Amino acid sequence: MKITTALDSTSLTTRYPKTALATTLFFMLALPFLLYLVLLLMLPFNRPEALDAVAQRLGWDLGHSPLRDTWYAVILLVEATIVSLYTAVFAGVTTWVERRIAGRMQSRIGPNRPGVFGFMSWVADAVKMLFKEDLIPAEADHLLFRAAPYFSMVGLTLPFVVLPFGESVVVADLNVGVFYLTATSAFVVVGILVSGWASNSKWALFGAVRGAAQVVSYEIPAGIAIMVPVMMAGTLSMQGIIRAQGGWPWQWFACQNPAAFVAFFIAVTASLAEGNRTPFDLPEAESELVAGYHAEYSGFRIALFLMVEWANMWIMGALAVTLFLGGWQIPGVSVEMINQTRGTDVFPTLVWFGWQFASLMVFAIKTWLLVILFIWLRWTLPRVRVDQMMSLCWKYLVPGAFACFIFTLFWVMVPASVHLVSGVVLSVVVALLLVKFALRTRKNIAQVKGASVDLSNW
Amino acid sequence: MAETVVRRILGRMSPSDEEIVINFGPQHPSTHGVIDFVTQTNGEIIRRSIPDIGYLHRGLEKIGEAVGYPGYMPFTDRIDYLAAMLANEGYAIAVERLLRIEIPPRAKYLRAIAGELCRISNHWVAVGTMASDIGASTPLTHALREREAINDLLEELCGARLTFNYARIGGVAFDAPEGWAEKILRYLDHLDSYVQEYDRLISLNQIYVKRLAKVAVISREKAIAYGLCGPNLRGSGISWDTRRDLAYGAYPEFQFDVPVGQGKMGAVGDCWDRYAVRVLEMLESSKIVRQALAKLPEGEIMAKVARKPKPEAGEAMGRVESARGEMCYYVVSDGTENAYRVRVRTGSFMAMGIIEEMSHGLMIADLIALIASLDVVAPEIDR
Amino acid sequence: MNAQEIHAKLKAQFGDAVGDLTEARIDPFVTVKSDKIVEICQFAKAEAGLEFDYCEDVTGIDWPARNQIEVVYHLFSLQQRHHIVLKVEADRSQPSVPSVEGVWKAANWLEREIYDMLGVSFVGHPDMRRILLPDDWVGHPLRKDYQEAGGYHGVSNTRPDPLVRLGGKVEAERKAIAAAAPPPVAAAPVPAAAAVPAPAPAPAPDKKESPNG
């Protein structure tokens, strides 16, 4: 390996291509795969009875010794760490995806220097932020200033506990999962308010107050819209709601009920607002408030805030996928089929693990598609104004969500065949809309005679 | 310095307990330069917003008395660096009137072509940054990409991308290079169709329209009373364009429309009207450039002017329709080789005067929209 | 209307307060008495046929030789499409002119700038304070006898001339580099085919002694 001095301005990727490729592939594929694998291996053994059975199989007899609780606690701690790691890795990878997509949409390249295709830019950014100066304004409230990012982080990581990654791949399948998720994800606003206040800056305060108003307002339509699939499934448990759906699009709740179709859009819009994503990014409106509530933060603290914003997208997407788009259900494969392959042993069969992995992939792909939709919206749409955002919530989304709720009250009483018919009809409608959209995009591109511009100077 | 000024301004404000006074700027992504707006707000609603300028004051009018007539041309670039060709032209016209010389027709056409290309370039920046201030960052990069093509064209012409120093007293400095006209025409073909895509992307976007329609409506009477000019005046429905109505240079030979605000999205003179006038002006400039290229006469590009011209003692006013409005150069000569007084009246300076008046009752986001729609640049205001 | 007709109308209304229209060198102007400027401007704005609704510019010129500061008003009519230039002469030691801000709001900021740059105070202006320079600036820069105060809040506005300071040192360094460089390789042993590039090395040693030295 040729050693060159730091004054060489060729990018590291060009100088050490094999190392760059290897590091990129590790971070891009191996690391998430490892995380998923560990989740897969650990999560089916989440419950105390299963842990006992494993311990017996391995030859340890824990009985009712106090070691059993410690053993259980350790397992849970490891699982929590893995899931938090996943949050961080996802946040980082999403920044790369967003910057590349944003770059292409803005007629430029996006990051392309660190790592192959610039994939290591998020690692580089994370390391850079760790090394930055830890700055606290002199007049700021030191304790609250330091504590604020952690409030937001709590609001970010707690919901991951109930997110159903796969058929049995969930940290804790609470039977009030949806309720728990809405409750804990609202904790982020505490961090926003505290950071805005503690910064002792009028700009930060503006952003914080706007943010608080926004998140709190949009909890209402989000909550009511979420009640629609809950009623259709009859349970608040996330896994229960997914099991009530099926793999094919006409078995998804979004298609099975016209009101749920509308509620899907209301829930997605409200989620965007709660996650401070454009068009609802008023609390951190860069061109008005210059970063709003986290204006005075730098270094690792702001990295935490930004991580919260990006990883929140996964929660937004996962919630919508779970409730409306069929979750991890694989088309054509029913839950009974998967259970049949489990076998009677303590350790499930490899085939079962394979099906788990497949369901994990289905869930991940669906959530990623929604995340990319959110990124697309961010870089296309301008920002709404505060009063417009409020009127959208209270005058349009809340009555709309109520209407969907009441419609669903009656819808759940009709026979299942009507649900199926509605499912098929709505699936066909959505498919046609997608085709129309694709054709329209093609026409738009063809209309612009831009392909013949001489940009050879560039 | 800032403390004394802000204290004097605060003396004029008397915020109650619920109102706060914040500074928009001087460092701020959306104030279009180094300008400070001391704003007294009650929550999101502004009670009044007083602009505090002078951060970019470089004494350009005093410099005009020291460097001689030809020597002042590069300084006119810095008065408005986004549309420098037009700023050059204005000063050249004023001094040519003082010297009582007529410039060759080819020079007039070249000035018109360069000036209109500069206008397109400036309007791209204006509409792009306006979209970015409203929150959409993609239109900005697209607009700057379009502007890059014009930067390249003008670089071929005179070697510079921003501060051109192209006009000279008596004509222009460089002739059009080989193949330049074809490149311009190819770009204009692209421009005419690309503006439609840009409109689909942002101008007609409902969120964007709702942010700008009926916001900060400047009525006809107010626009005239406050001395607005250019797209700001036309956005309020007044059809006045120095190119068409005072007919200087080569402009009498061209056919073009003058877009005027019509209140398409709500009210005549709102922010969307001023924005729309700029977008349409780009298309009109494209028409002018095509006509100029088709009719470009052969001949000299410079009239015979002394190296250090000494005009007769007197005064003259040179007016151009700059990208930001009518730019007037009032040059007073005392018969020596340095000017006695150079005065530059710019459109941005006049536009700033109306902001305090319009700011009552606006929301913060609307103030940003107003500043962006007036297309102010700090160097023009402060000189 | 052209300048003569406008001047005739003004003269008819205000008599002695309105001076003569100068000859066109290059733009003609009318000097008016400063105590009547507000009435004249109101008349110019309101009178049918004149209708000067647009205040294009209000600026000032310092004439220390005549001991006067001229305030120049460029007026324009959007309806009638005509211009006129009015001038008011103010005494240089105590320049004071009535403000026309009540006639055209545009004059508000324009008169503030004249106050800032030339020291003319406008009677009746609602907000007479500096606009471009800080409030505690000393002096009025556009006056011909303006002297800088030598600094502002501890920031000096002079610096030693860099060429004077570095001058000899830079030249000596360059001469040393040129002397230490190895002599250029002679062009003699090059084959005939490469004869064309032979003249190229010759100008190189000249460039080492920089023309800017």
**Sequence-ordered strand ranges (E) for chain C:** 18-21, 30-32, 54-63, 68-76, 83-91, 96-98, 121-123
Do B368 and B25 touch, CB atoms closer than 8 A? no
- Do residue C55 and residue B352 have CB atoms under 8 angstroms apart? no
Note whether residue A454 is domain-resident. Answer: no
Domain boundary among A131, A163, A196: A131
Question: Is the confidence at residue B170, as pLDDT, over 50?
Answer: yes
Note whether residue A311 is domain-resident. Answer: yes
Residues A420 and A280 in one domain: yes
Q: Return the number of other C-beta atoms located less than 10 Å from residue B145's C-beta.
A: 18
Question: Is the confidence at residue C209, as pLDDT, over 70?
Answer: no
Do B318 and B93 touch, CB atoms closer than 8 A? yes
By DSSP bridging, strand B314-322 and strand B171-172 are: unpaired
Give the count of domains, chain C. Answer: 1
pLDDT (tens digit per residue) in A197-211: 888 888 788 888 888
Q: Helix B271-295 crosses helix B180-198 at what angle (to 10 degrees)?
A: 160
Residues B37 and B172 in one domain: no
Residues B80 and B174 in one domain: yes
**Phi, psi dihedral angles at A279 (to 5 degrees):** -80, 15
Give one word for C88, left, alpha or beta, with left for phi > 0 and alpha for psi -120 to 50: beta
Do A210 and A292 touch, CB atoms closer than 8 A? yes
Note whether residue C70 is domain-resident. Answer: yes
Give the count of domains, chain A. Answer: 2
pLDDT of residue C21: 86
Residues B143 and B209 in one domain: yes
pLDDT (tens digit per residue) in B131-158: 988 888 899 999 999 999 999 999 999 9
d(CA A107, CA A155): 36
d(CA A411, CA A231): 10
Question: Is the confidence at residue B5, as pLDDT, over 80?
Answer: no
Do B139 and B203 touch, CB atoms closer than 8 A? no
Q: pTM to 2 decimals?
A: 0.86
Residues B101 and B38 in one domain: no
Chain A residue with the nearest C-alpha to that of B150: A455
Task: Considering only the beta carbons, identify the residue of C27, C53, C105 that sits closest to B315.
Answer: C27
Chain B residue with the nearest C-alpha to that of C25: B314
Task: Considering only the beta carbons, identify the residue of A105, A388, A449 that sits closest to B210.
Answer: A388
Residues B90 and B233 in one domain: yes
- Which chains does chain B touch, 3 or more C-beta pairs < 8 A? A, C
Question: Is the confidence at residue C187, as pLDDT, over 70?
Answer: no
Residues B322 and B352 in one domain: yes
pLDDT of residue A449: 53
Domain that holds residue C41: 3-95
Residues A118 and A185 in one domain: no
pLDDT of residue B259: 92
Q: Exposed/middle/buried for B316, CB within 10 Å: 0-12, 13-18, 19+?
A: buried
Note whether residue A293 is domain-resident. Answer: yes
Chain C touched by B349 (CB under 8 Å): yes
- Do residue C105 and residue B353 have CB atoms under 8 angstroms apart? yes
> Does A have 3 or more CB contacts under 8 Å with B?
yes
* Partners of B20 in beta bridges: B41
Q: Kindly give the parts of chain A with pLDDT less than 70.
A: 1-9, 44, 61-65, 285-291, 448-458
d(CA B94, CA B328): 9
What tokens were used for A215?
Answer: 């998140």
Amino acid residing at B315: E
Amino acid residing at A331: P
Chain A residue with the nearest C-alpha to that of B130: A287
pLDDT (tens digit per residue) in B232-283: 999 999 999 999 988 888 999 999 999 998 888 888 989 999 999 999 999 9
Residues B236 and B340 in one domain: yes
Give the residue from C93, C143, C153, C91 showing the smallest Cα distance to C116.
C143
pLDDT of residue A371: 92
- Cβ burial A144-156 (10 Å sphere, 16+ → b, else e): bbeebbebbbebb
Note whether residue C29 is domain-resident. Answer: yes
Identify the DSSP state of C32. Answer: E
CATH number, residue C17: 3.30.460.80
pLDDT (tens digit per residue) in C63-116: 999 999 999 999 999 888 889 999 999 998 889 999 999 999 999 999 999 999
Note whether residue C84 is domain-resident. Answer: yes
CATH number, residue B104: 1.10.645.10
- Do residue B210 and residue A290 have CB atoms under 8 angstroms apart? no
Note whether residue C204 is domain-resident. Answer: no
Range of lowest pLDDT (A295-304, B100-109, B237-246, C174-183): C174-183
Do A239 and A415 touch, CB atoms closer than 8 A? no
- Do residue B138 and residue A379 have CB atoms under 8 angstroms apart? yes
Give the minimum alpha-carbon distance from C62 to chain B in angstroms, rounded to a whole number: 9
Note whether residue C86 is domain-resident. Answer: yes
What tokens were used for A65?
Answer: 């010794």
Question: Is the confidence at residue B295, as pLDDT, over 60?
Answer: yes
Give the residue from A365, A195, A373 showing the smallest Cα distance to A278.
A373
Domain boundary among A71, A97, A131: A131
Task: Considering only the beta carbons, identify the residue of C56, C127, C132 that sits closest to B57.
Answer: C132
Note whether residue A250 is domain-resident. Answer: yes
Task: Considering only the beta carbons, identify the residue of B316, B343, B357 that sits closest to C27.
Answer: B316
Domain that holds residue A327: 136-435
What tokens were used for B277?
Answer: 């006038």
Chain B touched by A105 (CB under 8 Å): yes
- Do residue B352 and residue C109 have CB atoms under 8 angstroms apart? yes
Neighboring chain B residues of C118 at a CB cutoff of 8 Å? none
Give the count of domains, chain B. Answer: 2
pLDDT of residue B341: 93
Give the residue from B94, B85, B99 showing the smallest Cα distance to B64.
B94
Chain B touched by A382 (CB under 8 Å): yes
Residues B119 and B135 in one domain: yes
Note whether residue A6 is domain-resident. Answer: no
Share of chain B above pLDDT 90, in %: 58
Question: Is the confidence at residue C7, as pLDDT, over 60?
Answer: yes
pLDDT (tens digit per residue) in A226-283: 999 999 999 999 999 999 888 888 888 888 888 999 999 999 999 988 888 878 887 7
**Phi, psi dihedral angles at B118 (to 5 degrees):** -65, -35
Chain C touched by B330 (CB under 8 Å): yes
Chain B residue with the nearest C-alpha to that of C77: B224
CA angle A271, A275, A280 (to 5 degrees): 85
Neighboring chain B residues of A281 at a CB cutoff of 8 Å? 135
- Do residue B365 and residue A385 have CB atoms under 8 angstroms apart? yes
Residues B29 and B148 in one domain: no
Domain that holds residue B21: 2-52
Residues A175 and A127 in one domain: no
- Do residue B330 and residue C55 have CB atoms under 8 angstroms apart? no
What tokens were used for B135?
Answer: 């929150």
Give the minimum alpha-carbon distance from B171 to chain C in angstroms, rounded to a whole number: 20
Note whether residue A447 is domain-resident. Answer: no
* ipTM for the whole complex: 0.89
Return residues 84-103 of A near B (CB < 8 Å): 102
Residues A310 and A194 in one domain: yes
pLDDT (tens digit per residue) in B31-86: 688 888 888 888 788 888 889 898 899 999 999 998 989 999 999 999 999 999 99
When pLDDT is cut at 50, 70 and 90, the band that residue C186 belongs to is low
Note whether residue A247 is domain-resident. Answer: yes
Give the residue from B357, B349, B367 showing the smallest Cα distance to C127.
B357
Residues B317 and B204 in one domain: yes
Chain C touched by B268 (CB under 8 Å): no
**Which of B36, B137, B150, B373 best probes binding to A when mutated, by most A CB atoms within 10 angstroms?**
B137
Alpha helices (H) along A139-294:
142-157, 177-185, 188-198, 202-233, 238-243, 253-256, 258-274, 286-289
Residues B47 and B74 in one domain: no
- Do residue B345 and residue C59 have CB atoms under 8 angstroms apart? yes
Chain C touched by B4 (CB under 8 Å): yes
Chain C residue with the nearest C-alpha to that of B341: C61
- Cβ burial B279-295 (10 Å sphere, 16+ → b, else e): bbbbbbbbbbbbbbbee
pLDDT (tens digit per residue) in B299-330: 999 999 888 899 989 999 999 999 998 999 99
Question: Is the confidence at residue C197, as pLDDT, over 60?
Answer: no
Between these two residues, A429 and B20, which has the higher pLDDT value? A429
State the average pLDDT over residues B219-224. Answer: 91
Note whether residue C74 is domain-resident. Answer: yes
Q: Helix A299-324 crosses helix A188-198 at what angle (to 10 degrees)?
A: 150
d(CA C148, CA A329): 79
**Phi, psi dihedral angles at C102 (to 5 degrees):** -70, -20
